[in-house]
Amino acid sequence: MKQKDVEIIIYGAEQICASCVNLPSSKETYEWIEAAVTRKFPNQPFEFTYVDIFQPPEEKEKQQFAQKVIDEDLFYPVITINNKIIGEGSLRLKTLYTELEQYGYKPAEQ
């Protein structure tokens, strides 16, 4: 399968979600995901983006999704790949890895 470039977006906020009290912050989750993915799938192109839901960038699509996180009371961070929600709150890396493999990404040999 030919690899398709993906954008992994983590939508979150500085303040930890009320339902996610004992979990890492959204920013820590973003850093953890970036490190884990680049280690699991080395030398493959990824775009990682962190979006603060209360101060989203100018891009309309990201603003709309940030508002959706707020309006629908989603557990943040919300992790998306190409606009598909992969996880809310506490993400299982296996779920993320499985999704990336569907886009043609190849894990490093163990």
User: Could you tell me the residue ranges of all domains in the chain?
Assistant: 6-102
**pLDDT value of residue 75:** 86
CA distance 45 to 96: 15
Q: Name the CATH code of domain 6-102 (choices 3.40.190.10, 3.40.50.720, 3.30.930.10, 3.40.30.30).
A: 3.40.30.30
Q: Which amino acid is at 109?
A: E
Task: Please classify residue 26 by burial: count the beta carbons closer than 10 Å to its beta carbon, then call 0-12 exposed, 13-18 middle and 19+ buried.
Answer: buried
State pTM to two decimals.
Answer: 0.87
The answer for 56, left when phi > 0, alpha when psi is -120 to 50, beta otherwise, is: beta
109: Cβ contacts below 8 Å, ≥ 6 apart: none
Contact 37, 19 (CB under 8 A): no
pLDDT digits (tens, 9 = 90+) for 48-95: 999 999 999 999 999 999 999 999 988 889 999 988 999 998 888 999
